Copies of this chain bind each other. A is one copy, B any other.
Amino acid sequence: MEMNFDGIKVIGFDADDTLWVNETYFRETEEKFAELLGEYETKNKVDQELFKIEIQNLELYGYGVKSFMLSMIESALDLSNHTISQQTISDILNLGKEMITKPVELLDGVEEVLKKLESKYHLIVLTKGDLLDQERKLEKSGLSKYFKHVEVLSEKKERNYTNLLGHLGIDVNEFLMIGNSLKSDVIPILNIGARAIHIPFHTTWAHEMVSKQEEKVNNHLKLSRIEDILAYL
């Protein structure tokens, strides 16, 4: 569709899977986790159980690697009927620590895009997840210098966006959000009357999936690569 970006002054970038690789590391860790549990259940069953436990714990733990570690441990106990070895619990802790210390891998074109946009717009990062972990990733990414503000939200729902824009003194008509998740970065943004660009990442966590109905959302621009936004902004 054709879109009009007149009047945009502030651009919010999602971080995980928009600026840098993230979901891929969760998928890789799930592979290793399923191998650790291989004597108890199939990969498919392990995945299902882990996802179930993650969703059960989401309200308590929120997003991020520490929550994922705790849910892996709980799933391992459940799936093995409490016979999982102590070594495996220890291995799970190490899988999580590896995720936390992984280098940050920027997605193609990200730095070039930020460099071109920073003089024309006020750029901010709006991400959800673990506060320390997101701050650390931004630091490691070398991208901090392009952003005037960084906000880690516990959720990306309409209310969170409305509060944040209010607090930062940003009018919805001046705000454009760019991210890989229809559910978190696009739909709530359109619902509050701001504009959004969707740049899907090849991997999406099941929890971020939207229904076929919601996929039909429109009034936003969908692009395949982040560099493509330069043709519009």
Query: Which residues of A come within 8 Å of B, CB atoms?
Result: 60-62, 66-67, 69-70, 73-74, 77, 80, 82-84, 86-87, 89-90, 93, 96-97, 100-101, 130-133, 135, 149, 152-154, 167
Contacts and interface: CB of A to CB of B under 8 A. Distances in A.
A210 B190 CA distance: 49
Contacts of A60: 97, 100-101
A154 B135 contact: yes
A187 to B, nearest CB: 21
A15 to B, nearest CB: 14
A87 B93 contact: no
Which DSSP category, helix, strand, loop or mixed, fits chain A's interface? helix
Given A131-B131, A131-B152, A135-B154, A89 B62 contact: no
A86 B93 contact: no
A169 B69 CA distance: 38
Contacts of A153: 131
Given A100-B60, A131-B131, A70 B93 contact: yes
A119 to B, nearest CB: 21
